[in-house]
Structure 1
Amino acid sequence: MTSNGLSPSQLSVISGSGASSNPEGGGYTYTVAWTAIKNAAGTCNWCRLLPKRQVEGAAQVTVRYYKDSRYTPVGDKLLSVVVKDLKDGSTFMTDELLLYTTRDDEAASMIKARDRITKLWTEEAFSMAKTCIENCVREHRSNCPPLQNMSLLPDRVIDCANTSNPKIVLTSGQTHAPYVTLSYVWGGPQPMLTTKNVGKYTTDGFILTDFPQSIQDAVTATNKIGQRYLWIDALCILQDSPEDKVVQLGKMHAIYKNSYITINAASASSTHEGFLHQPRPQREPRTKLPFPCSDGKTGTVYVAYDILSRKKDGPEQTYWDELEPITSRGWCYQEKILPARSLVFASDTLKYYCQTETVNIGGALCEESTGKRLPRGAYLSHSADHQLDPVQLRQSWLAALFQFTMRSVTVPSDRLPAFAAVAELFSILNQDQYLAGLWRKTLSAILVMGVGGWTSQW
């Protein structure tokens, strides 16, 4: 038996005994007696993936591996399998399998996707997160802005230099420095809030362990990625001051848009749960297979469940960001769409989300995020030779409306305020005035009723 649990004869089936020259895309074609496939199905993982069809005689199996644009990381990770009945010429299998392997496997030089990182509190995980940020700055210049290293700090931020005794800093809107924002689900009344007695937090600071776990985790994460200042709504807005709430909510667009990065506590349904130390078991693959490498060695690859294939088997083994607790909250929508970059602490691993792509840290196989991003170039400077596509802008606005209305708010009267920061951004991009759900440029057309109808820009 090989290290993959296959006998030499079974390994010859997958590695292409008698294979032809490699077809385009990398791979091979071989002919096999279908009875051999059926007889080996009890012990051969590869044979179990092939159809249980009655074939008289031989079948031709073509296997190729390709790059795949639906999933990251970039590189070969898609295995195409086509099986033909040589007797009647019919094709009875056309399938695509997503592959990944471990970091130390022989196949790692050819298959780019890895297994997921699940211990998100480690130095290794945060180092990988910082690598994602660095890659984005270097490679995504056409769509992602430079890092906000000298932004105007919000009126209040948390100084995380001493993680056990953070302090609230009053900036009066005059201080420039990078800062991190937190997006999270409150999950009910908060035990610790900043009120008009904010002075005690600015002088003595606060004992971090007195606060809910998600707040503790956010302070830790901010420090681990090398940043000092953190903005959290519960602690940086005076919760007993209606006047301050109005002022700060009016700045929400700028607060999130100008942040260095946003920490997105996607997997936590309340502040008491936390997001760093949640159990994240490695997802089970459909199967594992031996993989013949170009240097003659044999590695091991894993076949992942694919949510896009709509297969009946194993949907619980795929990741879908729409199922995260944070995705249901109306206030959290602006906190996803406005930041240029986010670290998403998901229920399966840590993800890096920017205006270009979504990746899992460590090069792990990553499903694309659902929901439409801002129109391409929304974060870049707008000059006469760089204007946003009006069609793309309109589509993004309609998508934002749809996505937001699918979320809930605890207080019905909060629905418009919870969307106001998004509307402000689009008013800047469209150079129009937002009027509680309508746009000034098309307001007259909306108010005029006619038999022939009309077409709105928005």
Structure 2
Amino acid sequence: MKIPAKRVLDITDAAENLVRLVETTDLEGRYVALSHCWGHPSRHPLMTVHATLNDHMASILVEKLPQSFRDAITVCQHLGVKYIWIDCLCIIQVITFFLSWLAEAEKMADIYSKSYLTVAASRAYNSQHGFLFDFPADTVRYESTPLNRRAWCLQEWYLPKRLVEFAVSNLRLICLRSVETRFGKTSDERTKTRTIARGWGMRDEAFFRTLWESIRQDLFARDITRTSDKLPAMAGLAQMLEKRLFETPNHRYLAGLWSTRISEDLSWTVLEYDDTSTWIEGVPTWSWASTSNDSDIIYGRPSDTYVELIEARCT
């Protein structure tokens, strides 16, 4: 399978303390993707910029990498996988970083969904922290960590077909139909929603409505730096749902809404505006994503609809 990312890290020589960036043109093979928190700007990890790109293509000393990256490489070595995708190394970080990121972000759905495995370093509060250390004796059912509080990590949770999560007190291997932990098989609403979103268990439109609402509420519960990032943060997930669950031209994703349930999706209102309320530039005003008041939005549930959709598109 061709690797969808533009660059990956080749760890073939990691045992000799060397790794390097490689272009993926005509490159095929398995790769691991890392989901991690960068942490405070003062603790940001080693990054690739234009000035260091050629150096990183030649070699990077493993000892110069932050601990979470080294731990992820260790996981790859144990699995016999020679490539890993890490955002801050594989995407060139430039002054106009967001433009650079957007170019690669369009591939995010493919990068995470086509990975052999995604490693979620949930227990690492920044890239220096690492995640391969002993677990405590007890465990909790769900743990709030910086990684699962970040809006940008939403689709990194839902998109992979296999995800291994190094949580604070537990290790979870989450596949399409089951969840294995260090204590045995388990299930909870968070992992159940992820399994359904990956394409298993979809039954009807009402069920999809519940699923999409769960995903949207998951987004609202997470921290986001810019309110304008809401739709980009879930774009890859929406793309996956549109392609995999509704392979019909009549079911289109429209800036957070779905064409087949447009009357219901348009039936939202903000309960109360305050001095901090803003409308987000570039987002259609008919979308719930156009307002910063996520916590004050309520949605109507019309029992009857007399709407006929003639045409709808977003550009």
Asked if Structure 1 and Structure 2 have the same fold, meaning a TM-score greater than 0.5 normalized by the shorter chain, the answer is yes
- Match of residue 76 from structure 2: 222
Bigger proportion of residues as helix: 2
Tell me the distance in 2 between the aligned counterparts of 1:448 and 1:413: 21
**1:39-438 pair list within 5 angstroms:** 150-163=1-14, 164-172=17-25, 174-189=26-41, 190-197=44-51, 198-203=53-58, 205-240=59-94, 241-277=97-133, 279-283=134-138, 318-361=139-182, 364-365=183-184, 367-371=186-190, 372-374=192-194, 376=196, 378-379=198-199, 389-428=204-243, 429-430=245-246, 431=248, 432-438=251-257
Q: Deviations over 1:295-341 (max 9, x none)?
A: xxxxxxxxxxxxxxxxxxxxxxx413232332211111111111111
Tell me the distance in 1 between the aligned counterparts of 2:235 and 2:67: 29
1:247, CA displacement in angstroms? 1.8
Preserved CA contact (<8 Å) 2:197 2:241: no
**Residue segments in structure 2 that go unaligned for 5+ positions in a row:** 269-300, 308-315
Q: Which has the higher contact order (CA 8 A, sep 6+)?
A: 1
Tell me the distance in 1 between the aligned counterparts of 2:80 and 2:170: 20
- Match of residue 63 from structure 1: none
Tell me the distance in 2 between the aligned counterparts of 1:455 and 1:194: 54
Q: Which amino acid aligns with 1:232?
A: I
Preserved CA contact (<8 Å) 1:267 1:275: yes
Q: Which amino acid aligns with 2:77?
A: N
Q: Which amino acid aligns with 1:270?
A: N
Tell me the distance in 2 between the aligned counterparts of 1:365 and 1:445: 41
TM-score, normalization: structure 1? 0.52
Change (3 A) 1:155 1:394: same
Change (3 A) 1:448 1:260: closer
Q: Which amino acid aligns with 2:24?
A: T
- Match of residue 84 from structure 1: none
- Match of residue 307 from structure 1: none
Q: Which moved more, 1:425-434 or 1:436-445?
A: 436-445
Q: Deviations over 1:268-287 (max 9, x none)?
A: 1111111012x42323xxxx
1:188, CA displacement in angstroms? 2.0
SS of the residue 2:128 aligns to: coil
SS of the residue 2:18 aligns to: coil
Tell me the distance in 2 between the aligned counterparts of 1:214 and 1:319: 23
What is the CA RMSD across the aligned residues, in angstroms?
2.8
Tell me the distance in 2 between the aligned counterparts of 1:156 and 1:378: 26
SS of the residue 1:348 aligns to: coil
Preserved CA contact (<8 Å) 1:159 1:228: yes
Q: Which amino acid aligns with 1:200?
A: D
Bigger proportion of residues as strand: 1
Count of residue correspondences:
262
1:259, CA displacement in angstroms? 0.6
**Residue segments in structure 1 that go unaligned for 5+ positions in a row:** 1-149, 284-317, 381-385
1:223, CA displacement in angstroms? 1.3
1:245, CA displacement in angstroms? 1.6
Q: Which amino acid aligns with 2:254?
A: L
Preserved CA contact (<8 Å) 1:360 1:366: yes
- Match of residue 36 from structure 1: none
Change (3 A) 1:360 1:193: same
Change (3 A) 1:191 1:180: closer
Match of 2:259 among 440, 444, 453: 440
1:454, CA displacement in angstroms? 5.3
TM-score, normalization: structure 2? 0.74
Change (3 A) 1:242 1:327: closer
SS of the residue 2:73 aligns to: helix
Change (3 A) 1:377 1:342: closer
Preserved CA contact (<8 Å) 1:153 1:176: no
Change (3 A) 1:191 1:436: same
Tell me the distance in 1 between the aligned counterparts of 2:112 and 2:23: 18
Tell me the distance in 2 between the aligned counterparts of 1:267 and 1:159: 25
Q: Deviations over 1:197-219 (max 9, x none)?
A: 3221112x111221221111111
Tell me the distance in 2 between the aligned counterparts of 1:395 and 1:448: 16
Q: Which amino acid aligns with 1:162?
A: D
Preserved CA contact (<8 Å) 2:32 2:81: yes
